[in-house]
Amino acid sequence: MNIALVLCTIDSTFRRNYFMSELKNQISQFIDTNAKTYQDISLAIHAKPEVSDFEYFASQTLSEQLKKEGFEIELPAAGHRTGFVATYKSNKPGPTVVFLAEYDALAGLGHGCGHNVFGATSSLAGAALKSVVDQIGGEVRVYGTPGEEGGQNGSAKGSFVKKGYLKDVDFALCVHPGSGPEDGLSTRNYACAPVDIEFWGKPAHAAGCPQDGINALDAQILTYAAIGVLRQQLTDRIRIHGVIVEGGTAPNVIPEYTKAKYYIRAADIDTLHELYEKVENIVKGSALQTGCTSSMKLYQNLVENMVLTPSLDAIYEKYITELGNTVKHVEDVVMPGSSDVGNISQVVPTIQPHISITDVQIAGHSQDMVNASCSQKAMDAIVKGAKALAFTALELFENPEELAKVKEDHAWHVEHQKEN
């Protein structure tokens, strides 16, 4: 045995662990010192809820704070007027991490999903890592990604991917507010195609000369019924649901125009594309049967399914547990709902664990969650969440071998996502 080599290895490990501990202390102190600033921002965003594509106050407030921290700001970004990119690059080479920030509210409700907490947490984590990155090398970014809840120009993360903002990124981090006595790790969810289905016919008096009309409502109802029949042959990994939002103007007028909105969901993106084609054929068939013309198209970005990177979640779990939180492990199943964080996860290792902001389980998208999102526990979660995210990034910046393993883990799960 080469004693000198063993001692050198031990000494090197000790020095790395000591340096890591010192950097963690610096990050922790930065977060503790600056927590109130970001908590106040979170409360201000909560008090002024803004829906997709209209988050002017939230995006401006977060990006201005990051500019004060020394980040370069791009606003607007990725084709979204309320999207932003905050970038800080050290003079030393190293990895690039993105902290994903959400800040949109729910129409008619407010911050019933806690995105005021989400955006503040990611921004504080990014600022904290930036405070030490000159010592270790690398690049820190915060991406302000509007419209997670969907709507006008919604699901902005898809635009960030399409426009190349992830091509030089090594991994992406965020944490979502949750409820209950325990936290949770990232979960798989559905890919989703939000579509408008429209038909155009010909108006006529419904009693006097119905034979002269072409009924766009008939086409819409045929489509609705046919989708219902299609569901008989679909698996539990697929969901389709929609509403008719325009069905005509008066009972004595043959409807000239109708419109429906649907969410077409599947557990993986390939299945979603197959399902999309089936629904598209139904629409074409309804148009053919009634003599209408038709259109089926996305009204916002397609949302891709979440690809897990368990090894990256495990690093986050280590740190959030170290900070005193308990993490509940659940069966690996596809959870209902969709999120555009899935688009990011398709191209780089990504996590979106949940940090609880309540002591008991409550419904998301509810008034209870609106109230919880401005509670003291939510403010405390900003601090803990930011620390856990920043520590996770720090570990991968300091350990190239571990980062390589995370990337291998991610690549395997991307390749095998349809099998799970």
DSSP secondary structure of 56-79: HHHHHHHHHHHHHTT-EEESSBTT
**CA-based R_g, the chain, Å:** 24
What pLDDT does residue 334 have? 87
- 23 and 63 share a domain? yes
Mean pLDDT for 305-314 is 97
Per-residue tokens: 389: 């995210």
What pLDDT does residue 9 have? 47
Mean pLDDT for 37-50 is 98
Of 298, 321, 337, the domain-final residue: 298
Q: 3-state class of 195 per DSSP?
A: strand
Q: Which of 314, 304, 344, 270 lies closest to 189, judged by CA? A: 304
- 413 and 278 share a domain? no
Find the domain containing 37 and state its range.
Answer: 3-189+305-419
Where does the pLDDT of residue 14 fall: very low under 50, low under 70, confident under 90, or very high at 90 and above?
low
Cβ(185)–Cβ(317) below 8 Å: yes
Cβ(141)–Cβ(126) below 8 Å: yes
Q: Where are the beta strands (DSSP E) in 120-234?
A: 139-144, 171-173, 176-178, 183-184, 188-189, 191-200
Q: Which of 313, 326, 322 lies closest to 355, judged by CA? A: 326
Any idea which residue has 């090594």 for tokens? 170
- 249 and 111 share a domain? no
Of 298, 330, 351, the domain-final residue: 298
Q: Is the pLDDT of residue 301 over 70?
A: yes
How much is the mean pLDDT over the chain?
A: 95
Nearest 5°: the CA angle 79, 83, 84 is: 110
Sign of the dihedral through C-alpha 414, 186, 125, 120: positive
Q: Is the pLDDT of residue 140 over 70?
A: yes
- 178 and 204 share a domain? no
- 202 and 247 share a domain? yes
| pLDDT tens for each residue of 200-231 | 999 999 999 999 999 999 999 999 999 999 99
What pLDDT does residue 120 have? 98
- 102 and 147 share a domain? yes
| pLDDT tens for each residue of 64-79 | 999 999 999 999 999 9
- 282 and 265 share a domain? yes
- 153 and 177 share a domain? yes
**Whole-prediction pTM:** 0.92
- 369 and 397 share a domain? yes
- Please report, for the domain that includes residue 283, its CATH number: 3.30.70.360
Total residues found in the chain within this entry: 420
Sign of the dihedral through C-alpha 346, 38, 71, 19: negative
- Please report, for the domain that includes residue 396, its CATH number: 3.40.630.10
d(CA 368, CA 116): 15
- 91 and 131 share a domain? yes
| pLDDT tens for each residue of 152-193 | 889 999 999 999 999 999 999 999 999 999 999 999 999 999
- 110 and 143 share a domain? yes
What pLDDT does residue 1 have? 52
For the CA atoms of 189, 347, 414, 175, the dihedral, rounded to the nearest 10 degrees, stands at: -40
Cβ(196)–Cβ(296) below 8 Å: yes
- 156 and 25 share a domain? yes
For the chain, how many structural domains are there in total?
2
What pLDDT does residue 4 have? 45
DSSP state, residue 80? B
Q: 3-state class of 300 per DSSP?
A: coil
What pLDDT does residue 6 have? 41
> What residues are paired with 244 via a beta bridge?
260
Of 246, 267, 298, the domain-final residue: 298
Q: Is the pLDDT of residue 49 over 90?
A: yes
Per-residue tokens: 52: 């997709």
Q: How far is CA 30 from CA 90, 237, 295, 306, 390, in A?
A: 18, 44, 53, 32, 11
Nearest 5°: the CA angle 243, 178, 172 is: 90
Mean pLDDT for 339-353 is 98
φ and ψ of 91, to 5 deg: -80, -10
